[in-house]
Structures are given as C-alpha cells and as structure tokens.
Structure 1
C-alpha cells in the first residue's frame, strides 16, 4: 500500500520541529539586521523598490520571469522528446490511455489557471487585503528567497506526506503514482483536486502582491527545475555515484535536493528490492526534510519497476477528475463503492 498511518507521538514531534524550521530563516534575517544595525522596514516603499531593482541584475529578473511563463513548458517538452527518442518509454506500458492522461494533466491546469490567477491577482487580493500591498517589499531579495524556499517546500512536503499517510487523501494523489514509468510525460500527472488545493500560482500571486514577487519567481523557477529533473527518466545524477572524484559533491547533492535516485525510489511499485521507498522520500525541492523527519532512504540505485501494484489502468478522465467522474473498473479505488485503499495483489 502506498500509504502509512503515522504514530501520533512522532507526528506531534515532527509538527513542532516544522514550526521551528518555518521560523528559523525569519529569525536569522532579523538577527542579521540587528548585527548590521539595519532597519529596512522603516524606509519608504519607493526606496525599497529602488534598492531591490538595483541589487538584482536585470538578466536574473528576465530569466526567471520567462522561465515561469514559458521556459519550463519548453524545457519539459524538449527533455520529453529526448526521452522518447532515447527509447526510455519503450516497453513501459505507455498506452493510449496513459498518453491522454499525461497530456491532459500537462495542458489543462496551465489553461484553466491563467484566468483564475488573473482574477485572483487583479480583483480578489485588492478586495480582500486592500491595505497590505507591498507590505514586505523591504525584505532583501536573498532573505526573501530563503524564507519562501523553506516555507513553500516544507509546506509541500507535508501536503505530499499527508496524502500518503491519510487514507482519505490517498486517492487524490494516486494518479501521480499510477504511472508505470518515470519521465517528463508524467511529471505533471496529478488529479485536478490535488493540483487546485496546492498550486504555487496562488502563493506567487500573494507574495507578488505583498512585494516579494521577484524572490517568489526565483524560488518557483529553481524548484520547478529540480522537481522536473527528479522525475526525468534521464539519470543525470549517476555520474556523481560512479566517478570517485565526484562522490563528495554527490553526497551533498543527494541530501540537499531531490534527485532521480531518491525520487524514483518514491515512485517504485515495491519496497521488497531494498530500493523502492514509496512510504517516504516525500521531498519535492529539498530532500533534507526527509532526513530531518526520518522519512528518507538513500541507495544510489534506481527501481526496476514503477507504479502501483493494484493499478487497473483506470480511465484517464476518472484519474484526472475523480471524484467528479468515477472509474468503471470493478474493485478500483476510483470506482463507485470501491475501497479507499486497495490491497496489493499477493505474488
């Protein structure tokens, strides 16, 4: 089963540790201001905006603005084409149903969220929060990026972890794990409900409104690059394990961020091989959360098979739109009256 009920004592401890992690970068920033005898929050909004623009190279602003708009989409398509040409999807059950599901999950959110984001940013936020526009514009770029990176990724770690530990939530995340392969084609593969309730577009919109748009774009771009590369079937991290002179870099890298080896293990369809670890390795951008909370394993190896043992290749529309549409596969977790979590078939 791809879920695990957490012990209350461990869960409580992990939540308390998380609170400390959320507060740590803010405390470090304030301590820095105290030591440097700086009080940027006392400066005018116009002055803080001027300082931010002067301290951030224009090429950096342009790069991450375009990366979020169209760069990541182009990158995913290019890497996906390379994967197909290299034959990395051959003999991996990439059927017509799987292709449609992957394509819909890639395209639909990007089309649907554009008008939602525009309304949210231009209409709803000024109405709900009329007096806080540019409230945190005084936060320096790199401090803002650190605070956002920790807050955003730690929250997503918990969002992801709970979908594996709370049976009710599992079916909203199941679509992502049903793919019997890894690659760019399935990187965006999620049930629409899972995507809607945790989408970075809301966070970026809010942070932009509060004056932290540039650090938010920077973090969002870096995070997307890391998570896309961790899902890729191109095992770019292998040289760090096979070349002795790169071992020190690999040791740090695999503990800091998600890599194909650590994230592929999360998508394995079994734990019997000592490599698969779908009940852990929850980190999205940072793998360090899994080390802190004891949910990660590092093997420097890649699973042979991926997906879910109980997978019945449910209809693409059921996987994308459950529970609005349900599967016709009898006994499926996505079928009407189906089990909340299906038992894996015995070998």
Structure 2
C-alpha cells in the first residue's frame, strides 16, 4: 500500500475516533444531569443570577493575563533565556526580526481584527442565539471547550504536517534553529489568520460561554508557553524518583518541554527527536490516543529544519504573498513542496510508520 494511502487511512480512522472524543464531555455532562436530577437550563431562564460566571478574583486575574499578562510572561521568560545564553549564536538579525514581527502583529492586528468582525457577523449568522448557553455550569463549560478547542488545534497542526500543500504555511514555526519564547509565536500569517482558537473563542463568547473560554485560553497559553520555553522546567520530575509517578501522568496529559522540543528537533533518527509526531498543544493526551507521540524524557541537541536556507523574514511571514529569493527554497517561486530533494529532511507527508502504532512509545533514561 502506498504511503499516501496509509496516511489517508490513518487520518480517516483517527477522525472517526475524534468524533467520539468531541461528544464525550457533552455526554458526560448530560449523564451527570440525569443522575443528579439537575436542570440548569430551566433555572437559567427563571433566575439570571444563576448564569455561570468565574469568581471575581479569578476573573480579574485571567482578564489581566489575557490582555497584557501573557505577553509580559513571555517577554520575561525570553529575557531570562537570553541572559542564560540559551540562544547561543543562532539568533541572527533575520531571525530576530521574524520572531518580533510574529510576536507583535498577530496580537495587535490579526486577533483583534478577527474577533471584532466575528462578533459583528455572528448575530447575522446565528440570530437569536446570543447567550443561549449561559446555563451550562462553569466546570462543564471549561471541560467541553478544552476538548473542542485543543482537539481541533491538534488536527489543524497535524494536517499541516501530513498534507503536503499545507506544510509551507506552518514551516515558519519549525525553521527556528532554537527553542524559546522568541519563537513560540513564530507562524506564517495565513496559518495565524485561520487559527481555530480565535474564531472558537469569539463564537463561544457570543453564545454565553465567554468566562469559560477565557479560562481555557489562559490555561492553554501557559502550558504551551512552558512547552516552548528553552528552560526545561519538567526535568526535576524525571530526576527525582519520588516525582516519577507525577511525571508519568504529567507527560501523558499535557505538553512539556521534553515532548514538545522533540517535535521541533531537526532529526527523527536519534531516538529523541520526533518531528513526525508529538502534535499536541495543550494536551499531549491526543498523541497518546492516536499513537502519534513518543516520550523519552530527554531533549534534542538541535532544532529546526536540516534544509533551512535562512529565508528572508518577510517571505517566511507572508508566503505566498511574498516569496523567497533563496534558490531551491520551499518558499521560492517554483520551490519544492516539502523539501524532498535527495538528502534533505522528508516531512511526515512522506513517511508515517509510527502512526500505525496503537499507543505512545515511551523511553526513559533512568
């Protein structure tokens, strides 16, 4: 069977499993209502005070985090990483400009613009549905949103690796030869514009789940920020035996530096790097379920793309609007689709033997 057919079969199979995963938290919520006899949708219509809402202190904290808090945290970590020399000599002028543009423009232009127009269009697309879901208890709302949001992003991410014509829209995030806050938001503008989380959060806010959506967004941002950091905060969990049980749960539940750094490695053949998998963003659990992950408790020695040509920052950020002048680049006019010239790294689109596995591979170094 051709590898393309294997890829299609694996995607189809896992999408069917995903339908069940999407429905699971909703089904569990309905079951809990049936067992307890609770009918919050009725109470919400008679007593507006029962509309779910985060506690005032929690709301204040997360509102600040969502506006200026997370960028400040990211900048602080970036400064710490730079001071510790974790970028070595790999942060060239071209890389700095690209990282800064990708850090600022999506937050200042793309996200606010998409959110504004989404909230203007939603009343036209979904008339009379504003605040229709305010009756859902906060905990259930947060669980449902976490699954819907992160599983959708898992697929958005995975397909950009497995579908050849999508790869170049995500390639910018993988071209960085280093890990850290500098590159955490490094994405092509097209990839950022169609990023599912922006639209989902706006829609959920319109439907009345704004507080839960905000809560999940902040928690997810903290986890993904930590996973991209070049500071290996998870290392103590692997070093001290008393923490090994917690490490076992942690590394299978959420993305950590060890598992996500493996996804950014520039090789897949050293037993540590795994750019053909480890697609999870907030939850690594999806990689466990679909067999697309490995856990090594080790960190790659090098990152990026073997055939990286240091393409101009504007080409990486604005492709295909602007193309690279680097001959043979994937981002140049008429360049190869997935860098599949002889001797170059071949992306997941062309080889996926691990996807046929039933469970996550785990290797430890003691």
CA distance 1:85–1:26, change in 2 (3 Å): same
Alignment of 1:183-202 (within 5 A): 183-202=180-199
How much does 1:7 deviate? 3.0
Conservation of the 8 A alpha-carbon contact between 2:152 and 2:196: no
Question: How far has the Cα of 1:66 moved from its partner?
Answer: 1.3
1:40 to partner: Cα distance = 1.3
Aligned residue pairs total 341
Is 1:228 matched with 2:218?
no
Of 127, 130, 134 in structure 2, the residue corresponding to residue 133 of structure 1 is 130
**How much does 1:210 deviate?**
0.3
Counterpart-to-counterpart distance in 1, 2:302 and 2:4: 21
Instruction: Render the CA deviation track for 1:86-127: whole Å, top value 9, x for unaligned.
Output: 111113x21000000000000011111323322322x22222
Provide the residue aligned with 1:58 in structure 2: 56
Matches within 5 A, 1:23-172: 23-45=23-45, 47-53=47-53, 56-91=54-89, 93-113=90-110, 114-121=112-119, 123-172=120-169
Partner of 2:327: 330
CA distance in 2, matches of 1:261, 1:239: 12
Unaligned runs of 5+ in 1: none
1:48 and 1:137 in contact (8 A); partners too = no
Q: Deviations over 1:118-162 (max 9, x none)?
A: 2322x2222222210011111000000000000110000011000
My pick for the range that moved more, 177-186 or 130-139, is: 130-139
Is 1:298 aligned to 2:301, yes or no? no
Is the contact made by 2:114 and 2:198 (CA closer than 8 Å) also made in structure 1? no
Find out whether 1:20 has 2:20 as its counterpart. Answer: yes
Name structure 2 gaps, 5 residues minimum. Answer: 345-366
The alpha carbon displacement at 1:341 in A equals 1.0
CA offset at residue 46 of structure 1?
Answer: 6.8
Q: CA deviation at 1:51?
A: 4.5
- Separation (CA, whole Å) in 2 of partners of 1:210 and 1:228: 28
Equivalent residue for 2:270? 273
Q: What is the CA distance between 1:64 and its match in structure 2?
A: 1.2
Q: Distance in 2 between matches of 1:17 and 1:166?
A: 19
TM-score of the superposition, structure 2-length normalised?
0.90
Q: Is the 8 A contact 2:43 2:50 kept in 1?
A: no
Report Cα offsets for 1:225-247 as digits up to 9, x if no partner.
00010000000000000111111
Q: 1:220 to 1:87 in 2, by over 3 A?
A: same
Q: Relative to 1, partners in 2 of residues 1:52 and 1:304: Cα closer, same or farther, differing over 3 Å?
A: same
The 3 A distance-change label for structure 1 pair 188 and 271 is same
Whole-angstrom CA distance in 1 between matches of 2:147 and 2:171: 26
Cα distance change of structure 1 residues 213 and 6 upon mapping to structure 2, 3 Å threshold: farther
Q: Which residue of 2 aligns with 1:204?
A: 201
In the alignment, the residues of structure 1 paired with residue 182 and residue 46 of structure 2 have an alpha-carbon distance, to the nearest angstrom, of 44
Distance in 2, Cα, partners of 1:240 & 1:99 = 32
Change (3 A) 1:335 1:49: farther
Q: Answer whether contact 1:310 1:345 (CA < 8 A) is retained.
A: no
Deviations 1:169-196 (A, max 9, x none): 0000000000000000000000010011
- Separation in 2, partners of 1:193, 1:49: 41
SS of residue paired to 1:186: coil
User: Structure 1 96/4 Cα, relative in aligned 2: closer, same or farther at 3 Å?
Assistant: farther
TM-score (norm 1): 0.95
**Equivalent of residue 260 in structure 1, options 239, 257, 261:** 257
Question: What is the Cα deviation at residue 44 of structure 1?
Answer: 3.7
